[in-house]
Amino acid sequence: MGNLPTFQLHQQDAVDWLRSLPDGSVDLIVTDPPYESLEKHRRIGTTTRLKNSKASSNVWFQIFPNDRFEELFIECYRILKNHRHFYLFCDAETMFVVKPIAELAGFRFWKPIIWDKQKIGMGYHYRSRYEMILFFEKGKRKLNDLSIADVIQYPRIFRGYPTEKPVPVSEILIRQSTQPGECIVDPFMGSGSVGLAALQQNRDFLGNDICSEAVGISQTRMNDFLNPEITILNLI
C-alpha cells in the first residue's frame, strides 16, 4: 500500500483561515456554509434541528452572513490551483445570492447538482426533498466520469450533526474532480464528512470550523478511520 492520506484541522473564522493558505495550493474545495436562510427555515419550523439558540442560530454553529460571501469567494479562488473545481452546498434561495458573487470572483458557474434526499422533510407548501450543490470551475477541467448524472440520490442523515451531509455524496464530488494524493479543503467542515470522504478516497484534507465541538468530532472521525487499531484497543 502507498502512503496514508493526511489531514490538518483548524478552529478559526473561515475567511481568516483561508487567508493563511498559499496561492494556488489546493486541488478542490467542497463546503457547506451555514448560510443566512437557515435562520428563516428555523423561524418557520422547517429545520427543527436548529432550534436551540445560543447566539444568532444555535449551539452548533454561527450563521455566515450573505455580505461575507464576496471575501469568501475571493479567497477560495486565490487558493485553488488553476483548472480546478469548487462545490458549494446551499438551498435555492442562497443560490440566487451567491452565484453572481462567485462569478465576479472569477469562477465559471456550470450548474446546480441536485442532492435528492429521497424522503421529504418538514415544511409548508411543497415540502423539501432536495438540496443544491453549486458546481463552479476555475480554468477548465474535465470531470473524471462523464456518465455521472446531475442528480445524486442518497438519504439524508437523521439525528446527526446539524445539517450534516452524507459522506457518500461528498465522495462522488471528490472522485469526479480530483486524483488520489491531491488536496481537498473545507472551510466550514462541521462534523467532517468532506474530510472523511477525502481520506477514504486517498486524498489529503485541510479542514476548518469556528466551532470547537465540530473540530473535536471531525478529529475523532478521521483518527478512527486512519487508526482503526487504536479505536479497537480503546474499546477493550
List the pLDDT tens digit at each of the 236 positions of the chain. Answer: 458 899 999 999 999 999 999 999 999 999 999 988 666 655 444 444 444 433 334 444 578 999 999 999 999 999 999 999 999 999 989 999 999 999 999 999 999 999 999 888 776 678 889 999 999 999 999 999 999 999 999 998 876 676 789 999 999 999 999 999 999 999 999 999 999 999 999 999 999 999 999 999 999 999 999 987 544 334 33
Q: Give the pLDDT score at 229.
A: 57
Exposed / middle / buried, residue 127 (Cβ in 10 Å: 0-12, 13-18, 19+): exposed
Give the predicted TM-score (pTM) of the model.
0.88
145 SS3 class: coil
CA atoms within 13 A on the CB side of 1: 4
Q: State the DSSP H helix or E strand holding residue 8, giving kind and residue range, or none if neither.
A: strand 7-10
Name all domains of the chain by residue range, CATH numbers in brackets.
Answer: 7-235 (3.40.50.150)
DSSP state of 235: H
pLDDT of residue 216: 94
What counts of helices (H) and strands (E) characterise the chain?
8, 8
Can you give the pLDDT at residue 3?
Answer: 83
